[in-house]
Amino acid sequence: MSASVRVRFAPSPTGPLHIGGVRTALYNYLFARKMGGTFILRIEDTDQTRFVPGAEQYILESLAWLGISPDEGVGAEGPHAPYRQSERKDLYKAYADQLIREEKAYYAFDTSEELDAMRTMFESKGSAFQYNALTRVKLRNSLALPAAEVQALLDANTPYVIRLKVPAKGEIRFQDSVRDWVHVHTSSMDDKVLMKSDGMPTYHLANVVDDHIMEITHVIRGEEWLPSAPLHILLYQAFGWTAPQFAHLPLLLKPEGNGKLSKRDADLGGFPVFPMEWTDPQTGAVSKGFKQEGYLPEATLNFLAFLGWNPGTEQELFSLAELVDAFSLERINKAGAKFDVNKAKWFNEQYLKQQAPEALADLYLGHLSKEQGLAFVSLFLDRITFPKELSALVAAFIEKPSNYDEAVIQNKWNAESEKGLRILADAFPKVGVWQADDIKLVIHESLEAAGIKMGKVMQILRVALSGNGAGPDLMISMQLWGKDQVIERLEAALKTFPSIN
RNA sequence: GGUCCGUUCGUCUAGGGGUUAGGACACGUCCCUUUCACGGAUGAAACACGGGUUCGAUUCCCGUACGGACUACCA
């Protein structure tokens, strides 16, 4: 029996993987790497009615984008293939039958309609229906019905499910890595369905069987599974297997208000909840993705890692390798975390500044010369959150101003600044080398000679040349526009601005 | 309704029986700068409440409140 750590990420292909799922995958990945273990991807597609084409591919691509691809499983294969539960269907039945033989599970013939009716009846009385030790004796199952009748129903191919026979009394307890001891009385649990009438296992059975067969040592999953963990423990006990170590992760919450972050929150707050863009195959509706919004994978990873975990030091910027090194289950928080788009943007800005300027220029300013591209990257890098802003910013920069910032003209356009601009219009053609430092010198000297302070003229010059009251370094901007262009723009502004002198 | 889980600045969080309760994002102010941004400095801002235990509780225990998850032949 090997002691090496094996963890799995086990999503359902029912739509795009949402960002909470990505974090679960990340923590599994980090833990596996940290412990020198194996990270497995298993696809839990036992609900055929909810299968969405393309979802599995989406999961694989999202993990690949972030650099947390599985070592084993769908997309990687391995010794326990297949890793899609729909392809393991026959396996589960045998385990369910084993529990039937050992009288730890039983056949139930109640139809969905009958159960629904039961629920509404209980509800009208102000209580909740549970299929358990108290109620199962009055329902249509192999525990309540005479053996001969059960056999007759089976022989007649009556649809049935297999339910776990949960003991009437007893306490289930387990030590969760995040929550410490959790206790639940079996009396509050119900006889969950293990095999559905379509012959597919439910999550509970498939999950426990596969985790055992695949030798999973640690189950790291979302807190929404905490209530069913005792059921899973009961199943491990029924099979006589040792349960893996559980770690239930805190939920990712809606940024505004309360509640679990859901797929419906997509686009509501102007931020994505999916790693990549997703087009609904049914409706054609498109949901934003971190990738397409312009988040870098490193930033997305770093941001996500800190939602529910921290290293206990004041370092906040972590590469994937550093995260692996610092990660531990013990430092995962208990409380749910809302996510803050400002923090996500801040992480992106940090990583953006670390990008190779050449790569950014290539990717976003490929239509320009290499030299120009690099110049623009260095001019704008500190002013953007997403790399794609570069293209629009540069396009606007190159464009001649179509209108001028009125407020600045109101405040700064006067006899003195007009005189200043006219002096500059005369001086610029005489500049020899059109280079930022020389331009600055010429501006300084010519204005000084006229007794005008630079500060009186600079902002109006900026408006005259760019239309805007604020922006990147003017001298470098002028150098990039080029001498002719600057002179032309200045002349145009001088004609447009109302003359005072 | 029932079961389970949670609660430190607006947000992410550190801390943990005696602390000026620390950091980051966002926000304010100042510095840098011809402007804006970047950067630097600085400010405002939190232990849900009530009982215990204790010399002392934000920290431990119990309640309460609030929030959340689950309560399907979905995962």
CATH number of the domain at A208, please.
3.40.50.620
Q: Is the model's pLDDT at A2 over the cut of 70?
A: no
A106 & A161 share domain: yes
* Phi and psi at residue A154, to the nearest 5°: -60, -45
Residue A122 CB closer than 7 angstroms to strand B? no
Arithmetic mean of pLDDT, A333-359: 94
A64 and A100 both lie in a single domain? no
Residue A253 (CA) to nucleotide B33 (C1'), in angstroms, measures 41
On whether both A188 and A94 belong to a single domain, the answer is yes
In a domain, A12, yes or no: yes
Query: Distance in angstroms, CA of A24 to C1' of B43?
Result: 38
Predicted local distance difference test score (pLDDT) of residue A410: 87
Q: Could you give the percent of chain A with pLDDT greater than 90?
A: 85
Same domain, A332 and A429: no
Tell how far CA A320 is from the center of its chain.
Answer: 15
Task: Confirm whether A394 is domain-assigned.
Answer: no
pLDDT on residue A455: 87
Per-residue pLDDT for A269 more than 70? no
CATH at A125: 3.90.800.10
Q: Between A474-481 and A436-449, two packed helices, what is the crossing angle to 10 degrees?
A: 110
A258 domain residue, yes or no: no
| Domain match, A64 and A211 both | yes
Lowest mean pLDDT among A129-143, A163-177, A284-298, A442-456: A442-456
Peptide bond preceding A227: is omega within 30 degrees of 0, i.e. cis? no
A73 within 8 A of A182, measured Cβ to Cβ:
no
Q: Is the pLDDT of residue A403 over 60?
A: yes
Does strand B come within 7 Å of the CB of A84? Answer: no
* CATH number assigned to the domain comprising residue A469: 1.10.10.350
Based on the structure, what is the number of domains in chain A? 5
Domain that holds residue A56: 6-73+203-253
Nucleotide nearest to A259 (CA to C1'): B68
Task: Please indicate, yes or no, whether residues A410 and A374 belong to a single structural domain of this protein.
Answer: no
A202 is near strand B: CB distance < 7 Å: yes
Average pLDDT over every residue of A117-122: 91
Summarised one tens digit per residue, pLDDT across range A310-321 is 999 999 999 999
Cβ of residue A10 lies below 7 Å from strand B: yes
Residue A337 lies in a domain: yes
Instruction: Determine the pLDDT at residue A484.
Output: 94
A365 touches strand B (CB under 7 A): no
Q: How many CB atoms lie within 10 A of CB A127?
A: 9
Backbone angles phi, psi at A496, to 5 degrees: -80, -40
Does residue A3 carry a pLDDT above 90?
A: no
Residue A482 maps to a domain? yes
Is A104 marked active-site?
Answer: no
Whether residue A264 has pLDDT greater than 80: no
What per-residue confidence (pLDDT) applies to A386?
97
| Parallel/antiparallel/unpaired status of strands A218-222 and A245-249 | parallel
Q: Is the pLDDT of residue A501 over 70?
A: no
Q: Is the pLDDT of residue A257 over 70?
A: no
Domain co-membership, A234 together with A272? no
**In the prediction, which pLDDT does A266 show?**
59
Residue A438 resides in a domain? yes
Average pLDDT, chain A: 93
pLDDT of res. A138: 92
Higher pLDDT among residues A89 and A262, named by residue: A89
Q: Which bases along strand B come within 7 Å of a protein CB atom?
A: 1-8, 10-15, 22-26, 34-38, 67-75
Nearest nucleotide to A443 by CA–C1' distance? B34
Residues A425, A491 within the same domain: yes
What is A443-498 written as a DSSP string? HHHHHHHTT--HHHHHHHHHHHHHS-SS-S-HHHHHHHH-HHHHHHHHHHHHHHSP
- A314 lies in the same domain as A287: yes
Q: Report whether A465 contacts A439 (CB < 8 A).
A: no
Q: Which residue did the predictor score with more confidence, A8 or A265? A: A8
To which residue do tokens 């629904």 refer?
A: A116
- Could you report the predicted ipTM of this complex, rounded to two decimals? 0.95
Mapping DSSP onto H, E and C, the string for A329-379 reads: HHHECCCCEECCHHHHHHHHHHHHHHCCHHHHHHHHCCCCCHHHHHHHHHH
- CATH number of the domain encompassing residue A343: 1.10.1160.10
A62 shares its domain with A134: no
pLDDT, mean of residues A416-428: 93
State whether A103 and A174 are in the same domain.
Answer: yes
pLDDT (average), residues A442-447: 92
Report if CB A183 to strand B is under 7 Å: yes
Alpha-carbon distance of A231 to A239, in angstroms, equals 13
- For the CA of A342 and the C1' of B10, the distance in angstroms is 12
Between A495 and A264, residue with greater pLDDT: A495
pLDDT band for position A248 (cuts 50, 70, 90):
very high
Does nucleic acid strand B have an atom less than 7 angstroms from the CB of A128? yes
Task: Using alpha carbons, select from A9, A17, A127, A16 the residue that is nearest to residue A75.
Answer: A9
State the catalytic residue, choosing from A34, A93, A263, A288. Answer: A263
For strand B, list residues 289-328 of chain A whose Cβ lies within 7 Å of it. 306-308, 310, 312, 314, 316
Shared domain check, A183 and A102: yes
Taking only the tens place, the pLDDT of each residue in A67-105 is 999 999 999 989 999 999 999 999 999 999 999 999 999
Work out the burial of residue A263: count CB atoms within 10 Å of its CB; fewer than 13 is exposed, 13-18 middle, 19 or more buried: middle
**A8 neighbors A21 (Cβ within 8 angstroms):** no
Q: Please say whether the beta carbons of A458 and A447 come within 8 A.
A: no
Q: Note the CA–C1' distance, A83 to B38, in angstroms.
A: 49
pLDDT band at A1 (very low <50, low <70, confident <90, very high): very low
Nucleotide nearest to A349 (CA to C1'): B38
Q: Which of A177, A195, A213 is the last residue of a domain?
A: A195
Is residue A396 in some structural domain? Answer: no
Check whether residue A230 has its CB closer than 7 Å to nucleic acid strand B.
no
Residues 6 or more apart whose Cβ sits within 8 Å of residue A177: A218, A245, A246, A247, A329, A330, A332
The reported pLDDT for the residue numbered A488 is 96
What pLDDT score was predicted for residue A354? 94
Nucleic strand B within 7 A of Cβ A96: no
Residue A287 and residue A55 in contact, taking contact as beta carbons nearer than 8 Å: no
pLDDT tens figures, A11-67 = 999 999 999 999 999 999 999 999 999 999 999 999 989 999 999 999 999 999 999
Mean pLDDT of A421-425: 94
Q: Which of A195, A213, A235 is the last residue of a domain?
A: A195
Domain end point (choices A228, A253, A278) = A253
Confidence check: pLDDT of A268 > 70 = no
Answer whether residue A348 is part of any domain.
yes
